[in-house]
Amino acid sequence: ADLTYMCAEIRGFAQIAASLEPPEVVDLINQYLAFLVGLLRRHGATVDRFTGNSLRACWGALSPQPDDMLRAVKCGMALQAELVQFNRLVSPGGQHKVELCIAFHGGEAVAGSLGFEQHYDFTVVGEVLSVTHRLQELTRPGQVLITQSLQRKLKDQLKLLLLPAVELRGRSGPIAVFMVQGL
């Protein structure tokens, strides 16, 4: 399937977790994940997985729509915008404020159940996942970054800033990266 894949990481959570008791950490991360997943679902995403303080989601896996790429990037922008208000609700004093680093890439992948008789999980397999994850590792808090595969198709609908090309582990040669600045 042709997917748009997102990796989002909650930055700053390790420092917060160090100052809390384990049940408080679980409660806080559950609040953030509920917020993130609620917004993802409203934008038509399929959640792939949670890994510690990050989550992965995709558009186009289960019920592809012609505007999946644009809906995905709009979701990333909404996550960044609404996180500000959510932080105020969860942490009025700012002591538990977190930031998101979000990256998107589009391409061919296989999506579906992976596992064996006793345990299956929905997941995505393909280079689109590794490229997105590695780009997200380079993302700064508050940013939404996309690769050229999305830029080529969305350039007339988004305000983008071309960033210096980056080298991603496991890839040969630099890739073009764009920061989303608005619609």
Q: What is the pLDDT of residue 108?
A: 84
Q: What is the pLDDT of residue 141?
A: 95
Q: What is the pLDDT of residue 16?
A: 85
- Residue 110 pLDDT > 80: no
Average pLDDT, the chain: 90
In the numeric block, the tokens 């380079």 are attached to 138
Q: What is the pLDDT of residue 63?
A: 86
- Residue 134 pLDDT > 90: yes
Q: What is the pLDDT of residue 13?
A: 82
Mean pLDDT of 79-99: 88
- Residue 118 pLDDT > 90: no
Q: What is the pLDDT of residue 52?
A: 77
Measured CA distances, 3 to 34, 60, 108, 180 (Å): 23, 5, 6, 19
pLDDT band for position 146 (50/70/90)?
Answer: very high
Residue with more model confidence, 19 or 150: 150
Q: What is the pLDDT of residue 51?
A: 83
Q: What is the pLDDT of residue 92?
A: 84
- Residue 21 pLDDT > 80: yes
Residue with more model confidence, 99 or 113: 99
- Residue 111 pLDDT > 90: no
Q: What is the 3-state secondary structure (H, E, C) of the chain?
A: CEEEEEEEEEECHHHHHHCCCHHHHHHHHHHHHHHHHHHHHHCCCEEEEEECCEEEEEECCCCCCCCHHHHHHHHHHHHHHHHHHHHHHHCCCCCCCCEEEEEEEEEECEEEEEEECCEEEEEEECHHHHHHHHHHHHCCCCCEEEEHHHHHHHCCCCEEEEEEEECCCCCCCCEEEEEEEEC
pLDDT band for position 95 (50/70/90)?
Answer: confident
Q: Would you put residue 149 in left (φ > 0), alpha (ψ -120 to 50) or beta?
A: alpha
Query: Which amino acid is present at 140?
Result: R
Q: Which residues contact 67 (CB under 8 A, 6 or more apart)?
A: none
Q: What is the pLDDT of residue 175?
A: 94
